[in-house]
Chains A and B, each alone.
Chain A
Amino acid sequence: MTEAPDTTASDSQKAPVQYHWGETNGKRYKRGSRLPKKTGTPTPAAETPHVPWKWEEDGYTVIRGTARSAPGCHNVCGILSYVKDGKLVKVEGDPEDPYNQGRLCSRCLCIPDYVYSKDRLLHPMKRAREDRGKDKFVQITWDEAYDIIVHEFKKVADKYGVDKIAMCQGTGRDIHQVTRLNACMGSPNEGVPYFAGNSCYLPRIASMACMLGGSCVMDASQFLPKRYDDPRYTVPEYCIIWGHQPFYSNADGFYGHWILDLMKRGMKVAVVDPQLSWVAAKAGRDWLRVRPGGDGALAMAMLKVICDEQLYDKEFCDLWVYGLDALCERVKEYDLDDLCEKAWVDKEDVVRVARTYATSHPAAIQWGVALDQQTGGQQAAHAITAMWCITGNLDIPGGNVMADACWGIEQPNWVGTWGWDELMDDEEQSKRIGIDRYPMFAVGFKNMSSNATIEAWQRGEIPIHAAYIVTNNFLATMGAQAETQLEWYKQIDFIVVEDLFMTPTMMALADVVLPAATYEERDGFGGLNAYRISCINKAIEPVGDSKADNTIFLELGKRLTDAIKPENDDIAWPWDNVQEMWDYALEDGGFTWEELRDATWKYPEFQYRKYEKGLLRPDGKPGFRTETGRAEVYSMVFHHTMWSGLDPLPSYVEPVESPYSDPEDAKEYPYIVTSGARVPHFFHSEQRQIAKLRALHPDPLVYIHPDTAAKEGIEEGDWVWLENKHGKCKYKASFNDTYDPRVMQAEHGWWFPERTDEAEENTENEMDGLFGVFESNINNLVPFDAGVSGFGSNYKAMMCKIYKA
């Protein structure tokens, strides 16, 4: 058995933590780090725009800022908020902002309706534990809420150990400082423990980190403030859009219509999608209607074509890639016909798309969550990453570029925990759930493993005794088999839920409710993307007693540290207000929060071909931050952890519970259904209570081929049951004859805020209540299994049958 070297932090991991005092914006702070103290002045921003951040216009006060949560979204679109008499009247896209160039999606356009929704939570509340699931909340003050939380967390820490307190996140909100809440107490457990296989982006990010010592994103010029007009930029000739609906999802800080901007500028597309999306129709012959779960087979098929036909960039590989020969040997083990057959894609089409990709310069791949949501997805991500490495499309204009946190500002939040080393000792850190079980979790990432947690529940253990659930409605969104998980979570001694609306998860489980605020009601900055740091600028006072997530963490963090780990008192939360916290966080960029507000956005000077310039490695040498210093298509991290079943080379792993891995079950469940078919107006389980958005999409839909429907006696608009051995759920049938008749797609995140009676009356049968959350819940069908990596469960490839409700 070999130990995994920590590639993303190998240079720092062994070094002891050094503490020192420093000054930020006139205040002294104690800091701790394993890395040597940064010296020198930060590189100045590439562009500081000269636009005002506030002005008067026709009786409105207009405030310029960027939209970064709540509501959930990873983008930082530029916005102008129009305020009259202290009320937000409307929001417009900021035409000056290079990010969205005046545009907005429906979710931000609707923000006044969201802010002033009659359903917004206005006050902290408490509820007796025995009343979980019943609408018996009592309004309390913030002080009382904090006192209860501190008291209950302390009780759990004393009784079971502080590592049994978990910070449970969701996605989309700027709440990453929550990781400091667990760290300040000495608990290493933070993550998405209900999300089987951590099945969103982490599988891809972790794969890239193991291969490249960092991660890549498609270059749509978003790093350059002049965008498409910057002479350094090249429009990709060809782009493979893989498992991704860019226009409706705006996922992972990639504004989807950038793809469209590039298509208008001549970029051709291939689309890998079981659905004929609008953009797939634009791809013509290059729409590859992959079997859900067949992405790994398809990726290996393409890689095989590129290797067998020697379409890779030999010169680039000689200089910068490790493992090309081994890869060429590996793909020989596969039969192209077999791979194409398993992928349900014509060989001719696969060969053509692989050749076009390899011979177009530059070419890009823009991928999506579908790859994270199947067992074998991590291996598929490995294969796809290898495609852009060996064709020399790595870190070049219009290719897939290495992306780092701007000025390193948000780096701690990218890898999991802000304050990991400075607030926790080795022993505390070692209690993270899953690091011994799934070695990929030991590589740079600081999250707890969902599957190790799920396995503990399955064994009858109680891995979590207190939970702080923030920006997550897991019963509706990420919780595989949510009904089963609810039974587990009910055993947790004490649960806090922080959100903006009364969600099913909150109704089911919260002992204390904390009302959070929107981006219109708070100051902050957006830095989770790799392009720029931008200002979140408060336009109005928070409604009711709601508070910004970050304010809550700061206020509660001080109290928790003091009660549970007072030795962290002078270092954990030394700021008097959030602005001081931001000044501290922004210091590495060389500007204060006020300076950021004056500029609204700051782009660091972006560099292509960083590997040539010594910009990727801490030692300043050319190459990548990996053991071999190269882009490792043969990953040394996986090489050292082969004992766990990880494979150093790309491979095709058939998902569990598929027609190929489980042909017996396939007789009873002949169809494949995916979750998460995207709708433009909803971010996961959000916005169902916003009338204008809901009116555009009132019901949960399953998209199905009319021939299949006819065979099963279903007519368009009928309510149908989808069912497999894990559970069933109810959807309205919508026909589309471009699907493979064996495939259907269901939407996710559905619950019915309008069914308040059921929530109130749910004392008898809880499953009827909770705003109908289990009814149209495709996750009822999702298996927990995430394969050898612990990354990726079958959210997008479930076997099922279908019948009329």
Chain B
Amino acid sequence: MSYFVDENGYYGQFGGAYIPEMLYPNVEELRQNYLKIMQEDSFKKEFDELLKEYVGRPTPLYFAKRLSEKYNTKIYLKREDLCHTGAHKVNNTIGQILMAKRLGKNRIIAETGAGQHGVATATVCALMGLECIVYMGEIDIARQAPNVARMKMLGATVIPALSGSRTLKDATNEAIRDWINNPVDTHYIIGSVVGPHPYPDMVARFQSVISEEIKWQLKEKEGKENPDYVIACVGGGSNAAGAFYHYLDDKEVGLIAVEAAGLGVDSGESAATSVLGNEGVIHGSKTLLMQTKDGQIIEPYSISAGLDYPGVGPLHAHLCESKRAEFISITDDEAMNAGLELCELEGIIPAIESSHALAVFNSKKFKKDDVVVLNLSGRGDKDLNTYIKYFKL
């Protein structure tokens, strides 16, 4: 079985490009060019250089000694939180801005939930001098105010999505509508491994630098490239796709994808797509999604804006259905406490998204000599208000 995209844009039964004809020329242009462009020497050189000099890669693979002692196993943290702008999202936006330039586009649009992808997009647009418009749900604008301010300082225009539930799903709808309205000069930088083919594959390739580094870093530290487990949180699934990428075919490496259970998977306030979802079409992709029996998309809930999405990327739907990855759901409370624990044990304040991944150590037991790599996708600065409220700090 292959875990990589096939020539028609599918991962097993999931993926494809379920887009209105209005988007066909844009998506087709990207599909025909993305691999060619990514393989050009000049592209690779510019991408690698920016990741090194601007983003600060390679990010450390840090052996978390006290956390390891507490859970009686060997835990390494892949420090994506140390990337410029504070999360893995920038790996993808650097790649896509270079792609947009080579496609001759001069106007950039993006959607954002937590604001991390919006900030990462605004950042690369400032870097390249391109116009940047970010769609963000009205509710997320209120709960992620610092990131809205950052985007504005970086020169982006932030447009509130006022339709539907006014969160990430609706911001994505608005970005897609913008692209329909501006089919020639605009590139849409999608923030995760979602959307129509070739986006899931392109974004996964840009993020795959994470597992590429883990391999040689682990070799240096443990004398072997393969850990026993890789753990990552899944909103749309881009940091997980990046952390899993070079291990997909190595069956001895266990892949653990962590979803947000919100108030509990059966509470009606959850974002645990692998448990609550079934096959459907969202944002141009056939995948697992949370929906009513009638096929209307259900509004998810999580304390973490970055995991508050009713679907997962088609790669993850395939990893879930084929059981290549184990999916675990973590509640708001479990995540918040795991986040605080990392602060206390390691002096690292994680993003609440990443805290969901950390909480796995409380629900799954690892062996003493297991080597477990956890992708720490982002830092917690953006979440201070939520942490303050939750812990009454």
- Does A associate with B in a complex? no
Taking Cβ atoms with an 8 Å cutoff, the residues of B that contact A are none
Q: Which residues of A contact B (CB under 8 A)?
A: none
